Structure 1
Amino acid sequence: MYLKLIRLLMAGPLLSVILNVHAQSPVIISKDIRLPQDTTISNLLISSLNGFLAQKEHPAKNNSYVLKDDLPETAILLREMQGIEQNATLNDINFYKPYLTNIIQLNSGDFIIQLSYIGQSANTPVIRGSYRFMAKKQDDRFCFYSPLRQQTATWKTKRVNYITCYYKDTINLAEVKSYKRTLDYYQIKLKTPTRPVRLYYCDNSSEVLEVLGVDYIANYNGIKNISRTVHENNIDLVLNGGYTTGTRFDPHDLFHERLRLVMNPDIINRPVDEGCAYLYGGSWGYTCLEIKDRFKKWLAANPNPDWLTLYLSVANFEAGQKPLKVAYVLNALIAQKLEKEKGMPAVMELLSCGKREQGDANYFRTLEKLTGITKADFNIKMAALVKSVD
């Protein structure tokens, strides 16, 4: 089908069917696509598809063409479709167009839809992403959903307290129990709710995408491991495809994820967020103690550094494939001291001081309020703080 579509692209324009005037990117349909013979069903299906695509940048729960029974699964699939039209290199926000590549009718009200986002550069078709989703007729429209449940219907299940694991053959229960302990730790620290977790134990990024309904995304070329999480319908849905650090669950990334359950991402200060993730979850497979040890070795070789310059420039103290940053360690030490002296609410206040800005004025304003440390005496106070690294 893709080869046929590419030949059509090279040969001339395709027949575009636009049945929803509100769709920003109406689906393009080749004359070779076999639409349902019932024209009423065919028109309704394409109209609904355009409505679904027109709302794909919205939260999935607000998309009126998403099947609500499968909201969590479809929310992850929609995340993989968001912004797919854009070509940053060409500064074109609508470069890749949605082409219908296949429709399979399962029965009178259920279909499988295949869709590819394709652009043309120097007369060469370029595929940005290809997707599969299910369509089910409901009242006056078709609703769409991820094929995740169908794809994993034969998988085994294992319950570990509030976590239900889905896997093909084997599962490492020690890993899952460690994951639960880390979840429990963050839930107590951040006061996030304990909700049922559905954990899909995938082998790699390819399997995560396959069961989700993603056939191809250009950005993932060569990437072996990814994981995806969504919080919808009062459950946490996790598709875990392993990590390159040698452990399946990364406590650093898990801190970022859990924080966003209780704090709007728009107010989170990244250097503080990363510092807290260092403190509570380590980074790149290193524990917090290991990061501190590496920091002390760097400090011994670089005495009397300019802490303010290093902070503002977000400089590395270790580079390479596992970079570690001075600003993040300093914030880890500040957060550790704050929590000890004033409790976790003070740490949360620093975390929520706002996105990083030029000169970090919002950060230093909140830091002074909570600790008395100013931008003017940052070098002196940090020199004293790093001496207390345990």
Structure 2
Amino acid sequence: MKLKQPAIIAFLCLFFFISVTRAQNRSVIIPGNIKLPQDSVINNLITALNGFLAQKDKPIKSNTAILKDEFLETSALLDEMMGIEQNDATKDAAFYKPYLINLVKQDAGVYAVQLSYIGVADGSPLLKATFSLLAKKVDGVFYFYSPLKQNTKGWRTKKQGNITFKFKDELDVADAKAFQQNVALIDGRLNANKPILQYYCDSFLEAQHLLGVDYKADYAGVVNNNLTANSDEQSLIVNGWSSGQHRFDPHDLFHDRLRTVMSSEVINRPVDEGCAYLYGGSWGKNWAEVSALFNAYVNENPNADWLQLYLDGKNYQNDGGKILKISYMINALIVQKLEKEKGFGAVMELLACGKREPGDANYFKALEKLTGISKGNFNTEVGKLVHGN
């Protein structure tokens, strides 16, 4: 079939528009009113920045634009930047675009870069996040990294065992000791020993800023949280936990330490969460407290269909968004029994049964092998566990 000339022109225009749009989705947008340094290398820096952004969602080890001396800290920042263009409501993977909002020359060959990810809906701008990076020219090539070390260069350091603490003035010795004891308990189960580098921040807001997260919509209103990353040699915790009995969450600590010995690609989340409930409680409540809440639910629902509740991901508590899930609690009870009867090696096998999938076939296959509990007898066997038989 031969296309007429107007159709060919229309097709080429459409092709050109799509190509330009896709290129813009991958490239930083420079607003007309931004003042750039009068420097001959700026064009090279912008080109390198686009290369960095093009790689940010790939496996971190394959990102060739990271300054290697700052790999661990930049890994944590890239975790926060991953998938930032996505609009979850509209499922638009490129809704938020990167805008260069500041570029400042610091020392020789070092530049501070600030990016905002902005989308437009119904004529109104929507800010998803703003990030700060540093760019350093090495052997004629620009590499990018988190400002964490620069932002904390005046901080003090204290090492206890395989944990290095970074802090401003004085270390809370009691809290550091409690943290070390919790790490030892978890590592003993996991057979983990990766050293930890922990920054004690005054708040989660400060933790974000120090790492290079100036604003992230996902964290608006969040008071307590940590920012973490792992390299082959060390674990990083930028601690923004500022309330509670201790400056850390034993629940999240289990998740962090598990990922030092097991790939997140094979971890089954309900089992992982069940372990975190058992060894660290949840939402500031300890194991006894989350168990008591579940026992109250059991007493109020004597004829519960545990299999269906598990498959449907139902909650047994929702305190203003602080959710406790039935599937997590069931796994906590299963893990408790499994560890007692077969040791933690069996628990590790259940943890590594694979990410949750529709129908949970991988989970039930591993569960039946390790415990004899299957879909067919799930209600009976879980009923025994929840009633303490």
TM-score category of the 2 structures, normalised to the smaller one: 0.7 to 0.9
The SS at the match of 1:339 is: helix
The SS at the match of 1:277 is: helix
The residue type paired with residue 57 of structure 2 is E
Q: 1:283 Cα deviation (Å)?
A: 1.7
Q: Give the equivalent residue in structure 1 for 2:13.
A: none
Instruction: Check whether the contact 2:97–2:119 (CA below 8 A) recurs between aligned residues.
Output: yes
Q: Give the equivalent residue in structure 2 for 1:292.
A: 291
> Taking every aligned residue pair, what percent have the same amino acid on both sides?
49
Q: Give the equivalent residue in structure 1 for 2:133.
A: 133
Distance (Å, rounded) in 2 between the aligned partners of 1:46 and 1:263: 37
Distance (Å, rounded) in 1 between the aligned partners of 2:352 and 2:227: 24
Q: Give the equivalent residue in structure 1 for 2:30.
A: 29
Q: Give the equivalent residue in structure 2 for 1:334.
A: 334
The SS at the match of 2:230 is: strand
Q: How does 1:75-90 map to 2 (within 5 A)?
A: 75-90=75-90
Distance (Å, rounded) in 2 between the aligned partners of 1:93 and 1:138: 33
| TM-align CA RMSD | 2.3
Q: Give the equivalent residue in structure 1 for 2:348.
A: 348
Q: Give the equivalent residue in structure 1 for 2:64.
A: 64
Q: Give the equivalent residue in structure 1 for 2:258.
A: 259
The SS at the match of 2:99 is: strand
More displaced stretch, 56-65 vs 241-250 = 241-250
More displaced stretch, 134-143 vs 164-173 = 164-173
Q: 1:67 Cα deviation (Å)?
A: 0.7
Q: 1:326 Cα deviation (Å)?
A: 2.7
Q: 1:238 Cα deviation (Å)?
A: 0.9
* 1:284-343, Cα deviation, whole Å (9 max, x unpaired): 222223333333343334334332233222333333244333322222221122112212
Distance (Å, rounded) in 2 between the aligned partners of 1:270 and 1:25: 32
Q: How does 1:207-246 map to 2 (within 5 A)?
A: 207-232=206-231, 234-242=233-241, 245-246=244-245
The SS at the match of 2:309 is: helix
The SS at the match of 1:27 is: coil
Distance (Å, rounded) in 1 between the aligned partners of 2:165 and 2:296: 41
Q: How does 1:185-196 map to 2 (within 5 A)?
A: 185-195=185-195
The SS at the match of 2:367 is: helix
Distance (Å, rounded) in 2 between the aligned partners of 1:224 and 1:95: 27
Distance (Å, rounded) in 1 between the aligned partners of 2:125 and 2:376: 55
User: Where do 5+ consecutive residues of structure 2 fail to align?
Assistant: 1-21
Q: How does 1:62-211 map to 2 (within 5 A)?
A: 62-195=62-195, 197-211=196-210
More displaced stretch, 362-371 vs 155-164 = 155-164
1:309 aligns with 2:308: yes
Q: 1:387 Cα deviation (Å)?
A: 3.7
Q: Give the equivalent residue in structure 2 for 1:360.
A: 360
Distance (Å, rounded) in 2 between the aligned partners of 1:260 and 1:354: 14
Distance (Å, rounded) in 2 between the aligned partners of 1:192 and 1:252: 16
Instruction: Check whether the contact 2:235–2:260 (CA below 8 A) recurs between aligned residues.
Output: no
Distance (Å, rounded) in 1 between the aligned partners of 2:309 and 2:57: 37
Distance (Å, rounded) in 2 between the aligned partners of 1:243 and 1:171: 14
The residue type paired with residue 70 of structure 2 is D
* 1:77-106, Cα deviation, whole Å (9 max, x unpaired): 112211122222233211222222222112
* 1:248-307, Cα deviation, whole Å (9 max, x unpaired): 211111111211222222222222111111122222222223333333343334334332
1:384 aligns with 2:372: no
Instruction: Check whether the contact 1:275–1:332 (CA below 8 A) recurs between aligned residues.
Output: yes
* 1:21-61, Cα deviation, whole Å (9 max, x unpaired): 9885212223443434343x122111111111111112333
Aligned pair count reads 368
More displaced stretch, 47-56 vs 121-130 = 121-130
- CA change 1:383–1:126 in 2 (3 A) is closer
Q: 1:379 Cα deviation (Å)?
A: 1.9
* 1:89-132, Cα deviation, whole Å (9 max, x unpaired): 23321122222222211244111112222222233222221122
The residue type paired with residue 124 of structure 2 is T
Distance (Å, rounded) in 1 between the aligned partners of 2:163 and 2:144: 27
Q: Give the equivalent residue in structure 2 for 1:373.
A: 373
Distance (Å, rounded) in 2 between the aligned partners of 1:27 and 1:377: 55
Instruction: Check whether the contact 2:74–2:145 (CA below 8 A) recurs between aligned residues.
Output: yes
* 1:208-234, Cα deviation, whole Å (9 max, x unpaired): 111112221222221122211111251
Distance (Å, rounded) in 2 between the aligned partners of 1:299 and 1:86: 39
Distance (Å, rounded) in 2 between the aligned partners of 1:386 and 1:216: 43
1:247 aligns with 2:246: yes
Using the size of structure 1 for normalisation, the TM-score is 0.87
Using the size of structure 2 for normalisation, the TM-score is 0.87
- CA change 1:32–1:374 in 2 (3 A) is closer
Q: 1:239 Cα deviation (Å)?
A: 0.3
The SS at the match of 2:119 is: strand
Distance (Å, rounded) in 1 between the aligned partners of 2:372 and 2:30: 63
- CA change 1:243–1:382 in 2 (3 A) is farther
Distance (Å, rounded) in 2 between the aligned partners of 1:108 and 1:284: 46
The SS at the match of 1:133 is: strand
Q: 1:362 Cα deviation (Å)?
A: 2.1
Distance (Å, rounded) in 1 between the aligned partners of 2:313 and 2:123: 42
- CA change 1:144–1:338 in 2 (3 A) is same
